[in-house]
């Protein structure tokens, strides 16, 4: 089964649960959608601004190599062809990049919402059958999270490594630049790189937190009023859930806030140098 099939199965199983009616899932997905709109809006503004560069400055919006002359004074046709290709690719590339960045985050948001709903459902457990239904849902959620890992772990790993290298290079460049304009330009380039690392780390961290809260929900359930069969099954369920769900990047590092913080802290010395250089540039 694919991730979509498992997700549809989970939504169908839980849709008859009248307590929440998928409100917690909608909340998480709506949050990820707002992030997508924010990223796409910023990309759209930047790409649209690039459209006017050839008309105003008579230069290409971005430095790109072409196998022909792109100077407007030497080859006007080549200049406009290159400008069109650069602008078109900026919109097309931005759309692909936004989709690749937000797709794993959206799946994580669904998993977080499902775990939050399961947590609320466990609190209302009264009978053995209610608990069995929760166990079935939890098993499917674990399968769904595993599918997220299988589909996106490699992409997140490569993205994390490349973004970290770009960040380190950018911060080093900021530490040696003496131009305020260059400093601001590099800063605006680094911010999206930070977001690319932060988003999966944030949602991966929320996923682990939502999973760990299931144990607390079990304690808050009506297990005292249940029979011995319910209590024994609940103990087994708690034991199986001692290790919360976690996403990793090919097993090299966990996708959570501590990983993001460690990456950020490793560049603290360079940032201090950058702040000093910015002060020098301004003065």
More confident position, 269 or 103: 103
Token pair belonging to 17: 């649960």
Mean pLDDT (whole number) for 108-119:
90
**What is the C-alpha separation between 250 and 231, in angstroms, rounded?**
37
Average of per-residue pLDDT across 212-233? 83
pLDDT of 273 > 50? The answer is no
The residue with greater pLDDT, 183 or 146, is 146
Q: Quote the pLDDT of residue 108.
A: 92
pLDDT of residue 264: 52
The string of pLDDT tens digits covering residues 24-42 is 888 888 998 898 888 888 8
Is residue 85 within 8 A of residue 180, CB to CB? The reply is no
Whether residue 1 is predicted with pLDDT greater than 80 in this model: the reply is no
Q: Average of pLDDT values for 133-137?
A: 88
Structural domain for 253, as ranges: 3-282
pLDDT over 90 (residue 167): no
The pLDDT score that the predictor gives to residue 263 is: 59
Q: How far is CA 124 from CA 117, 119, 129, 233, in A?
A: 11, 9, 12, 16
Is residue 237 over pLDDT 60?
yes
The DSSP output letter for 241 is T
pTM: 0.81
At residue 85 the predicted structure's pLDDT band, cuts being 50, 70 and 90, is very high
Token output for 129: 């059958």
Q: What does the pLDDT read at residue 227?
A: 81
What is the domain count for the chain? 1
What is the average pLDDT score of the chain?
81
Structure-model confidence comparison of residues 264 and 11, the more confident one: 11
* The length of the chain, given as a count of residues: 283
Q: How far apart are the first and last CA of the chain?
A: 61
């Amino acid at each position: 089964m694919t991730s979509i099939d498992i997700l549809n199965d989970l939504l169908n199983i839980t849709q008859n649960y009248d307590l929440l009616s998928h409100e917690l899932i909608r909340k998480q997905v709506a949050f990820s959608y707002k992030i997508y709109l924010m990223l796409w809006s910023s990309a759209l503004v930047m790409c649209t601004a690039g459209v006017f560069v050839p008309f105003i400055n008579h230069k290409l919006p971005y430095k790109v190599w072409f196998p022909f002359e792109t100077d407007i004074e030497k080859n006007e046709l080549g200049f406009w062809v290159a400008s069109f290709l650069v602008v078109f690719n900026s919109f097309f590339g931005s759309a692909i990049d936004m989709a690749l960045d937000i797709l794993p985050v959206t799946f994580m948001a669904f998993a977080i919402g499902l775990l939050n709903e399961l947590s609320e459902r466990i609190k209302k457990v009264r009978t053995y059958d209610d608990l069995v239904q929760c166990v079935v849902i939890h098993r499917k959620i674990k399968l769904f999270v595993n599918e997220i890992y299988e589909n996106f772990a490699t992409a997140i790993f490569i993205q994390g490594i490349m973004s970290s290298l770009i960040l380190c290079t950018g911060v080093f460049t900021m530490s040696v630049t003496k131009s305020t304009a260059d400093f601001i330009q590099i800063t605006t380039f680094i911010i999206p790189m930070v977001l690319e690392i932060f988003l999966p780390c944030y949602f991966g961290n929320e996923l682990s937190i939502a999973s760990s809260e299931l144990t607390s929900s079990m304690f808050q359930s009506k297990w005292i009023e249940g029979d011995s069969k319910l209590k024994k099954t609940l103990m087994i369920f708690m034991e199986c859930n001692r290790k919360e769900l976690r996403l990793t990047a090919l097993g090299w590092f966990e996708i959570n806030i501590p990983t993001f913080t460690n990456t950020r802290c490793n560049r603290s010395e360079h940032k201090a140098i950058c702040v000093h250089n910015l002060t020098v540039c301004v003065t």
